[in-house]
Amino acid sequence: MTNIILCGGSGTRLWPISRTLMPKQFVKLFEDKSLFQLTVERNSTVCQSQFIVSNTEQYFLALDQLEELNKSKNRYLLEPVGRNTAPAIALACMALDKEELVLVTPSDHLIKDEVEYAKVLEQAKELALKNSLVTFGITPSFAETGFGYIEADEYDVKAFHEKPDFKKATEYLNAGNYYWNSGMFMFKAGVFLDELQKYSPEVYTTSQVAFENASKDGVVRIKHEDMQNIPEDSIDYAVMEKSKKVKVIPSNIEWSDVGSFDALYDELPKDENNNTLNAKHIAIDSKNNLVYGQDKYIATIDVEDLIIVDTGDALLVSKKGSSQKVKQVVKEIKKVSELHNIHLTAHRPWGTYTVLEDTPGYKIKTIVVKPGKKLSLQKHYHRNEHWIVVSGTATVRVGEETKLVRPNESTYIKMGEVHRLSNDGKIPVVLIEAQVGEYTGEDDIVRLEDDFYRK
């Protein structure tokens, strides 16, 4: 069985912890592991390999986190633009044997009852081997208005329902045969593709063209134009709501999509006053608070039912129960800055950089380059750069000259000059970069060569 893991997401619901370039599935929220890593570990008990569907930026995050887990049986499909779940799953299935069983899961869900989870997977497997399309319905614990619902008669699906209002959600809860739509599925790859071709032929045909035209150099890379030609559609609309082969497994598995700070609060460990555990939180007569921050001490006095999130470059304060409005904050942030997009520390294919200071006219960063990696051959139109190596030995190309730069040595790159930074050594290269110029935005990069297929 193959676990197809869908790694989409724009990082808006848990901002400022999550960002576009570090969405929540890759943030290490639970015992120094990410939701993505927990998903891989949980499903590795029944799946022999992982098939990651992602974009280029998140691909490198997945690579790094799978390496931490010592997982080597991984395949990747990279989408240049998202077209929802039906095309993503179809493209992955086209790369597999038609008889291969697949378990399709989001990368950002939490499941705490893994014993019960193993049982529902076994039930699903029995049905999937008989050519059913199996979905997992979560037994609701309260009248949730943020999820779609599945109406069932034992294992048979009677109907899919859109997100209800509170009155309707309460009716669903009391009825006893309505389940939250988890977004998890199990089926044979070929059975899904046959049903997709039958009920959504345009999605199937355009996906097939995109897959056939894709480069397959160990990673399936879909071309941008081909991806754009695929109609945007969810697996529910494209197949599940139309097929006669759909079954549902009622699942009471302590599931959460961790889709808001209120949901995150419910899952994090607490102290005796029901504040989330945080070594740097000083609480005076404060209770029932989510306090997240790692860099500075956060003191609270006589407050309760608050969400306080500090990430170094942004501070969020909200009443519990209102955290769904974070999306509105992100909408406003996009108008004035890049804070929705990237953290002070950014993870790149070659390593990381951390912004130490960003002021009009100059920017100072720490850059860490992993052994054997190199940045793109590039130039800038609006800034000069000074590099000072503090650890490791950097191989630096400036113009036509290449030289080694050792600790406590520096180099200077003039505006417009072609340059490249490489680490040919065995330990990380750490350097301080000072950018000086009228514009120091991350989009002032002209890439001439790149090992990671970036433009």
Which CATH number is correct for 345-449, 3.40.50.150, 3.40.50.2000, 3.40.30.10, 2.60.120.10?
2.60.120.10
Average pLDDT of span 73-97: 95
Amino acid 73: pLDDT:
84
Residue 454 has pLDDT above 80, yes or no: no
Both tokens of 428, joined, read 């990380």
Residue 452 pLDDT exceeds 90:
no
For residue range 178-235, list pLDDT tens digits in order: 999 999 999 999 999 999 999 999 999 999 999 999 999 889 999 999 999 999 999 9
267: confidence class by pLDDT, cuts 50, 70, 90:
very high
- CB contact set of 272 (below 8 Å; sequence gap of 6+): none
Amino acid identity of residue 163, one-letter, is K
pLDDT band, residue 28 (cuts 50/70/90): very high
For the chain, what is the largest distance between any 2 Cα atoms, rounded to a whole number of angstroms? 74
Mean pLDDT for the stretch of residues 269-293: 97
How confident is the model over 391-450, as pLDDT tens digits? 999 999 999 999 999 999 999 999 999 999 999 999 999 999 999 999 998 889 999 999
What average pLDDT does this structure show over 123-151?
95
What are the φ and ψ backbone dihedral angles of 284, each rounded to 5 degrees?
Answer: -110, 110
Residue 275 has pLDDT above 90, yes or no: yes
Mean pLDDT calculated for residue range 150-154: 93
Tell me the DSSP string of 399-452: TTEEEEE-TT-EEEE-TT--EEEE--SSS-EEEEEEEEES---TT--EEEE-TT
What is the predicted pLDDT for the residue at 321? 93
Sequence ranges of the domains in the chain: 2-256, 261-325, 345-449
Domain 2-256 belongs to what topology?
Spore Coat Polysaccharide Biosynthesis Protein SpsA; Chain A (3.90.550)
pLDDT bin (cut points 50, 70, 90) of residue 43 is very high
- Provide the mean pLDDT of the chain: 94
- State the burial class of residue 332 (Cβ atoms within 10 Å of its Cβ: 0-12, 13-18, 19+): exposed
Residue indicated by tokens 């399709």:
104
Whole-angstrom Cα distance, residue 109 to residue 93? 22
Please give the Cα distance from 256 to 58 (Å, whole number).
Answer: 22
Per-residue confidence (pLDDT) for residue 9, from 0 to 100: 75
| pLDDT of the residue at 221 | 95
Q: When comparing pLDDT for 320 and 217, which is higher?
A: 320
Span 233-242, pLDDT tens digits: 999 999 999 9
What letter represents residue 190's amino acid?
A: G
pLDDT for position 137:
96
pLDDT over 90 (residue 451): no
Q: What is the pLDDT of residues 332-389, one digit of tens each?
A: 999 998 899 888 998 999 999 999 999 999 999 999 999 999 999 999 999 999 999 9
User: pLDDT of 244-262, one tens digit each?
Assistant: 999 999 999 999 999 999 9
Q: In this prediction, what percent of the chain has a pLDDT beyond 70? A: 100
pLDDT for 442: 87
Percent of the chain scoring above 90 in pLDDT: 88
Q: Is 16's pLDDT higher than 90?
A: yes
Beta bridge partners of 348: 351
Structure tokens at 189: 């790859």
